[in-house]
């Protein structure tokens, strides 16, 4: 293990207002044997300061000792889905990362803040800088640009724990760190990464991805936004719908047709900057049933000039860029429902043991025991599927479309069921807005629709099988 990796600090900053110039860092690897799942009880949501201290750079002796320790590493260190020099995190790394994200949540994303975000439908603007200072916005990005190069298991851990605290804040986080930052990491040129990643990873700028249109959701080829070649670049015209972070985004990955007659081979991905793009606007912020506060908008492009240097990937190669990130998007987003299921249990379990009927805690009634057991089992099964799929990406470099789609398909549908069961366990209180059960349910339902509906995910899995067994059909 390199001394550079050893020197990355694992602990979140304890100072309430970290310096913007301070470098963000989360990790000092250790060795363990098992992945630490979320604890059965939600972390306390008080805003009292943590006693955790910032970890200093280790001494040379410690660095040498770690460097000489044999490590179990895999072929994924050279896989194109990961940054240069990537080493899969150990189970100890992931367990400690989970603890640090929980520390962050205790300080910065309390139950009061989560409820306020849902009630007001406004994302807390200062959260981006806090996420950046904590090192959470560049989990899969190059270290040279401020990222942590930790891979997809780590990204799932962060996504799960943020979702446990607030589904909407976590969704905006994923749109920034996965749909934008990771797309740049996978497909950006060296110059594009140097230009855009540092500010995105630090939280100084907000990222988004714009593919869906009012008439083209899962049907990518049906998009109507065009990009006409002109001297020095392209001119974009059209609109995008349901864009997470759209009202706030400074940097947006936008898909448009550069050759409308070429179908899927005529789409290109562009990096559009709000500040330098006259003609770009957010027509409206959308009012959603759930994921409120994860600001979502309709974007309009009217003769927006994009320089040729801002083409992401190759001209007419946009579908490849999209598909390269789509499997990993589904994988990381599948951790969102995990956090919501854990949040539902965090609410239901204490309530069921404190609430008495007929002189007995309702958790002692067999029907309620069965419901709680089913909630827990669904969470654990979904968690195992998601992290097994992420582990295969990190350790083997294997990205299986059917498993990335299957993980979010299963987790999303189970999350809606678990949220409904949480409401039932709480009874009348579950129907009251003063409890978070309603918010959990409304947030969970989005995962059966966003990033491809459950129906599309089933179709994706079926098509993967068709491709795998095509030789038997000839």
Longest dimension (CA), the chain: 79
Torsion of CA 198, 140, 250, 272, to 10 degrees: 100
Token pair for 110: 């309390």
Residue 471: CB atoms within 10 A of its CB come to 6
Query: Which of these, 92, 137, 342, 326, lies nearest to 245 by C-alpha position?
Result: 137
User: Are the C-beta atoms of residues 274 and 250 closer than 8 Å to each other?
Assistant: yes
From residue 213, how far is each of 180, 209, 210, 223, 458 by CA, in Å? 18, 12, 8, 6, 22
Q: Which residues contact 390 (CB under 8 A, 6 or more apart)?
A: 151, 152, 153, 155, 156, 331
Spot the catalytic one: 329, 395, 413, 448.
Answer: 329
Instruction: Tell me the DSSP string of 354-387.
Output: H-EETTEEGGGSHHHHHHHHHHHHHHHHHHHHHH
Decide if 455 is catalytic.
no
Backbone Cα Rg of the chain: 22
Q: Which residues of 380-399 are buried (b: 16+ CB within 10 A; e: fewer)?
A: eebbebbbebbbbbbbebeb
Rounded to whole angstroms, the Cα distance separating 427 from 347 reads 12
450-467 core/surface letters (b: 16 or more CB in 10 A; e: else): bbbebebbeebbeebeee
DSSP per position, 107-175: HHS-HHHHHHHHHHT---TTHHHHHHHTT-TTTTS-GGGT-----HHHHHHHHHHHHHH-HHHHHHHHI
- Active-site residue numbers? 329
């Amino acid at each position: 293990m390199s001394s550079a990796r050893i020197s990355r600090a694992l602990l979140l900053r304890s100072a309430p207002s970290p310096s913007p110039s301070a470098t963000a860092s989360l990790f000092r690897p250790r060795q363990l044997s098992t992945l630490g799942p979320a604890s059965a009880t939600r972390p306390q949501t008080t805003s009292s300061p943590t006693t955790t201290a910032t970890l200093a750079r280790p001494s040379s002796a410690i660095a040498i000792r770690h460097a000489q320790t044999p490590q179990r590493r895999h072929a994924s260190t050279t896989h194109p889905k990961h940054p240069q020099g990537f080493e899969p995190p150990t189970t100890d790394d992931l367990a400690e990362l989970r603890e640090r994200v929980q520390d962050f949540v205790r300080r910065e994303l309390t139950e009061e803040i989560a409820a306020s975000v849902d009630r007001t439908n406004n994302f807390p603007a200062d959260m981006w800088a806090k996420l950046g200072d904590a090192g959470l916005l560049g989990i899969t990005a190059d270290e040279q640009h401020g990222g942590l190069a930790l891979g997809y298991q780590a990204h799932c851990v962060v996504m799960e724990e943020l979702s446990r605290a607030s589904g909407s804040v976590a969704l905006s986080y994923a749109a920034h760190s996965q749909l934008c930052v990771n797309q740049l990491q996978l497909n950006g040129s060296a110059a594009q990464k140097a230009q855009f990643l540092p500010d995105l990873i630090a939280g100084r700028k907000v990222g988004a991805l714009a593919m869906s249109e009012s008439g083209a959701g899962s049907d990518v080829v049906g998009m109507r936004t065009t990009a006409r070649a002109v001297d020095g670049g392209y001119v974009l015209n059209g609109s995008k719908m349901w864009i997470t972070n759209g009202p706030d985004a400074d940097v947006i990955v936008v898909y448009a047709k550069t050759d409308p007659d070429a179908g899927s081979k005529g789409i290109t991905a562009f990096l559009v900057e709000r500040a330098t793009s006259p003609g770009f606007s957010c027509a409206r912020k959308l009012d959603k049933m759930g994921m409120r506060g994860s600001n979502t908008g309709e974007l309009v492009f009217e003769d927006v000039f994009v320089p040729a240097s801002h083409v992401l990937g190759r001209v007419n190669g946009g579908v490849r860029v999209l598909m390269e990130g789509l499997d990993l998007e589904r994988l990381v987003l599948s951790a969102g429902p995990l956090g919501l299921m854990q949040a539902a249990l965090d609410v239901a379990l204490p309530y069921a043991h404190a609430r008495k009927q007929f002189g007995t805690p309702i958790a002692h009634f067999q029907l309620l025991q069965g419901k709680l057991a089913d909630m827990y089992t669904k969470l654990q099964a979904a968690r195992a599927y998601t992290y097994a799929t992420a582990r295969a990406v990190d350790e083997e470099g294997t990205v299986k479309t059917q498993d990335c789609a299957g993980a979010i398909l299963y987790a999303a549908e189970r999350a809606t069921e678990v949220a409904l069961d949480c409401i039932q366990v709480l009874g009348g209180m579950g129907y009251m807005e003063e409890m978070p059960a309603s918010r959990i349910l409304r947030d969970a339902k989005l995962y059966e629709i966003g990033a491809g509906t459950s129906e599309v995910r089933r179709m994706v899995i079926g098509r993967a099988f068709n491709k795998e067994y095509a030789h038997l059909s000839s």
